[in-house]
C-alpha cells in the first residue's frame, strides 16, 4: 500500500514553555497526511473536487496514539503514514514519528470517504472510495517529502 514519509523540523510555536512538542500537534501533522497521500496518489483533493463537486473529504472517525518519547523545538522528525487497510468506503492509516532511529509516536486513524447526503444536502455520508483512488492507494510505493517546517 501507498506510504508517505515527510521530514520536518519542529517549530517553536508547536512547543510548550519547556520546549516539548504539545501533543495535539501530532494530530495536526497526521491530518496533513491524508492530503499528502491523495497528492502522492495523483488524486489530490483539488482533482477529486473537480470531478466530484459533492465530495466532502475524508473525515476522521477514530483515532488513537501511543507517545513513547518527547520531541522538542528544533528536532528534525520523520513522519510516516501508510494505508493499513482499504475498505469499500473507509481506510485505516498507521502513522509513525521518528527522531533519528527512535520511534517516538505511533498512531492509528480510521477515515471515511464522504460526500453530500442526497437525502439531506446539509449532511454528509460515507461513499465508496472511487476505483481510481483505490488503485492508486494500493500501489506498493513510498513517497518522500522534505519540509523545513510543516506550517
Across 124-150, average pLDDT: 86
Instruction: Report the candidate in 115, 110, 107, 134 with the shortest Cα–Cα distance to residue 60.
Output: 110
Under 8 Å between Cβ of 21 and 102: no
Cα–Cα dist 45/60, whole Å: 16
The 3-state DSSP class for residue 38 equals helix
Question: What grid cell was written down for 8?
Answer: 520536518
Q: How far is CA 29 from the centre of its chain?
A: 7
Across 85-97, average pLDDT: 96
Across 95-119, average pLDDT: 96
Q: In order of start, what are the domains of the chain with their CATH numbers?
A: 3-146 (3.10.129.10)
The maximal CA–CA distance of the chain, rounded, in angstroms, is 50
Residue 96: pLDDT above 60? yes
Instruction: Report the candidate in 115, 120, 123 with the shortest Cα–Cα distance to residue 57.
Output: 115
**Residue 126 to residues 35, 56, 104, 107, 151: CA-CA distances in angstroms?**
18, 10, 33, 23, 30
Tell me the pLDDT tens digit for each residue of 10-63. 999 999 999 999 999 999 999 988 889 889 988 888 888 888 889 998 999 999
- Say what the pLDDT of residue 76 is: 95
Amino acid at each position: 500500500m501507498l506510504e508517505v514519509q515527510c521530514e520536518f523540523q519542529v517549530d517553536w510555536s508547536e512547543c510548550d514553555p519547556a520546549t516539548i512538542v504539545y501533543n495535539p500537534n501530532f494530530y495536526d501533522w497526521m491530518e496533513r497526511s491524508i492530503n499528502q497521500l491523495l497528492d502522492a496518489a495523483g488524486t489530490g483533493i483539488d482533482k477529486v473536487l473537480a470531478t466530484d463537486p459533492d465530495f466532502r473529504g475524508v473525515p476522521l472517525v477514530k483515532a488513537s496514539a501511543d507517545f513513547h518519547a518527547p520531541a522538542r523545538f528544533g528536532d528534525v522528525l520523520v513522519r510516516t503514514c501508510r494505508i493499513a487497510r482499504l475498505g469499500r468506503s473507509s481506510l485505516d492509516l498507521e502513522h509513525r514519528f521518528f527522531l533519528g532511529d527512535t520511534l517516538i509516536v505511533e498512531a492509528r486513524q480510521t477515515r471515511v470517504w464522504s460526500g453530500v447526503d442526497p437525502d439531506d444536502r446539509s449532511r454528509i455520508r460515507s461513499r465508496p472510495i472511487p476505483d481510481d483512488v483505490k488503485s492508486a492507494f494500493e500501489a506498493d510505493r513510498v513517497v518522500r517529502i522534505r519540509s523545513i517546517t510543516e506550517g
